[in-house]
Structure 1
Amino acid sequence: MSYDFAVWEGDASAGEHSTAATFEDLFTRYLDADLVAPTPRIRAYSEALAARFPDDQSDDTPWAAGGPSSNCSGPILYVAVSFSQAEQVGVVTERLAQEHDLVFFDPQKAPTAPINRGEVTVTTSRGRVALPDRWAFFVSEELRNFDGYVVVDSGRDHSFAQARNENGTLTLEYRDGSPQQHYQVQGIDLGDVTEALSQWAENRHQFIDKHTWERLTLWD
């Protein structure tokens, strides 16, 4: 049994849903596909981590599926650690990430679906779908395709948030009641979209203050 950690180049101050979405995106692009050469910063980090926990095949190695040097690709490193040594290795992995100004992420603690399951409905190009357990991954996959969209209706009358991929550009909208309270922002990144939709499902609206919105009219 193993415990996994990820480290990548990015914004360490991003919200938890944004960070989870970034992880899903980087994992799909750089680890699910053929590995590429690590960036200089990730290479330096993997060498520092291997210096603390040698990248070898000894009986006491903490690495469950190869060490740092064989598990980095582009801007991300992803390692599996034996469960018995996860706490010790995790502390060092996180500390070194901070020293190298990198993002540390524990996938086992990633946020899952929004908590307001009783009222939330989610609709995509495939129709209404069950609320997924892997929320960040779900949004990422739906919006990866041109013309993909996700609508989150939290059960309040005429109130919803939705995002769509328009030929590679992500657009986020929300409507809070009346048609006069319908806004959109274009060119938003995937992490912010995921965070916004999840907040909307939980009746939290902090994401609104992060962006400059355009009000939509009935003729838009």
Structure 2
Amino acid sequence: MSYDHILLPSGAATTPAEVDAHLTAQQGVPEAEIVAEIASELNRRNEELPEEDGFLSVFPLGGIDHGSALHLASPYDAIGYVRALLFELATPRGYAVYDPQLAWLFDPADRIAATVTHGGAGEFPYLTRELVDLWIPTLAEPGPYLIVERADQEYIQTYRHPDGRYALEYRDGSPDKHFVTELGDAAAVAELIWDWTTGDRTRFGALDWEQLAL
């Protein structure tokens, strides 16, 4: 069994239904130059590895009339590696990454660069408002947390408790600048994480923060 990822141009879709519509519309359209370029690089990197370490379930990629879309399948044990590689290649070219298993769309438009760790799905190189709004209400075991880190010891994170409440923490570079609060509203947590990510602390003053001693 393989794990799928799909590349498509930034702005081509905002919902899973729109992704499906875009892919349908690309059927029979000659392969776009950018798609051929990305496919060629993925093929090259896969070919450099021993066959047993390859990250493509179907090889080689490309040469199919799917227009501006590129579909690739990989072994489950290569998911993290493939995701990182796709962000490396797709983001600078203005391409989004779609995960059809989770129905997650990573569109680089309006992204904020950060190290983002999703407790259930691993690490990602940026955050968007759409992603934080999608992720926070659905955090669940075995990793019900999200961390957004801009620099060493500079991060915001949340943990969703079994009762649905959220512990929200942020740290501004040192132990004496590490604070925590609790909220029961997923939308408010998402807003605050996005505010912190964009550098807006306006809403933070309305909350009761407690200094956290570790």
- TM-score when scaled to structure 2? 0.43
Larger relative contact order (Cα-Cα within 8 Å, sequence gap ≥ 6): 1
- TM-score when scaled to structure 1? 0.42
